[in-house]
Amino acid sequence: MIEKREQRFHCGLISKNRNVLFGISMVMIILFHFGEDYHAAVSADKIANVPLWGEIVLHYYRYVRSIGVELFVFMAGMGQYYSFCKSPEVLGYYKRRVSRVLIPYALLAVPFWFFKDAILSSAGVAGFFKDLLFFTFFTDAEHALWFIGFILAMYLILPLIYRLFHETGKAGGIFFVGLMVLTIALSNAYRLSHPDAYLRVEIALTRIPIFFVGVYAGKWIKEDRGLWTPGVAVFTIVSIGLKIYLTYTETKNYIVRYTDILYALALIVLLTLLSEFISRQAQLKQFFVLVGAYSLELYMTHVTVRGIFKELDIHTWHIRCYVGVIFLAILLSAGIKKITVAQREKQYS
């Protein structure tokens, strides 16, 4: 007996709605950063909590937090599976990925770090190059553009990960589980042996497993595998319930980071279904697709403009100031995207 399609959650829906999902994850990251600044201001008694909408912001910060990053990294892992599967020549893959990231990074990071290190501080030339080349991420917990270094590292190991997961037959699943366990075990061993150093890099270290999940799930998504709907529903409810419980009990962050993998997958299911609804609303779909198309540029411009505002003591916890951050980020993203596309077209012409 053939099972009806609607009785199963089909993984292909994630790929179908990938641009909308990228857009949603980017909006979630921007909202988190506002929540982070607002929470810090309220906690430091700089401002009084605003009734109603202030409570909404604080609840968003507490329960949703930075899960948009996990969603973004999962989607990036899935995207890299598609990219390498389509053209599995290693040097060609590296060339495509590096140009996609390094061109916009150079356009933004060079003036940003110059302004920050030469004008706003006395870090000098040495400080500029340390920031630009991510050395201060390891030494000083400089997190402004940590994601770029992280995603470049993931691109570097992607060909090996792809082949372990998808070119070893049935052993691929064993390699996936083994690598997940090994990565988490090594991360926790590093946390115990070098706690201070771990705190500087945990923002990236604990996101490696969700990238692996995205790469491994890419095959399921590409093949549009169907998952038993009741099982998916139970998994989603339990994962969200676990997140609420861990937040309520204030469980240690090194545990929450890894349980957030389950939380992110549960949200992927819910947001994929939401994306199906959004896809039927032309203007709403256009908005999220546009945000998704500019997601990398928006990430970089948003965090750098926010960082400069904070260095200048402009109150990013104030909604009008934060709207200014977003507005400037959009303008910069449009310019950087235009230059990047032109450079890549010239490179491949």
CA dihedral 24, 27, 32, 35 (to 10 degrees): -130
Q: Which two tokens stand for residue 81?
A: 């599976």
Name which of 39-48, 123-132, 209-218, 338-347 the model is least confident about.
Answer: 338-347
Model pLDDT for residues 151-169, shown as the tens digit of each residue: 999 999 999 999 999 999 9
Averaged pLDDT of the chain? 93
Note the pLDDT of residue 345: 75
Instruction: Return the structure tokens found at 306.
Output: 């926010």
- 347 pLDDT band (50/70/90 cuts)? confident
Q: pLDDT tens digits for 313-324?
A: 999 999 999 999
Residue 223: other Cβ atoms inside 10 A: 10
Identify the weakest region by mean pLDDT among 69-83, 205-219, 334-348: 334-348
Indicate if the alpha-carbon torsion angle 87, 91, 94, 96 is positive or negative: negative
Question: What is the average pLDDT across 24-32?
Answer: 96
In one-letter notation, the amino acid at residue 42 is: V
Alpha carbons 33 and 304: distance in angstroms, whole number: 12
**Among 71, 77, 72, 76, which Cα is nearest to 266's?**
71
pLDDT at 99: 87
Q: CA-to-CA distance for 30 and 306, rounded, in angstroms?
A: 10
How many C-beta neighbours within 10 Å does residue 229 have?
13
Q: What percent of the chain has pLDDT over 70?
A: 97
User: Rounded distance, CA 236 to CA 211, Å?
Assistant: 19
Residue 4 has pLDDT above 80, yes or no: no
pLDDT for 6 equals 57
DSSP state of 227: E
Averaged pLDDT for residues 317-342: 94
At residue 348, does pLDDT exceed 70? no
Long-range contacts of 242-249 (CB under 8 A, 24+ apart): 243/63, 244/63, 247/62, 247/63
What percent of the chain stands above pLDDT 90?
A: 86
Q: Token pair of 38, please?
A: 């607002």
DSSP letters spanning 245-278: HHHHTT--HHHHHHHHHHHHHHHHHHHHHHHHHH
| Strand residues in the chain grouped as ranges (E) | 8-10, 226-228
- pLDDT tens digit sequence for 255-313: 999 999 999 999 999 999 999 999 899 999 999 999 999 999 999 999 999 999 999 99
Residue 2: pLDDT over 60:
no
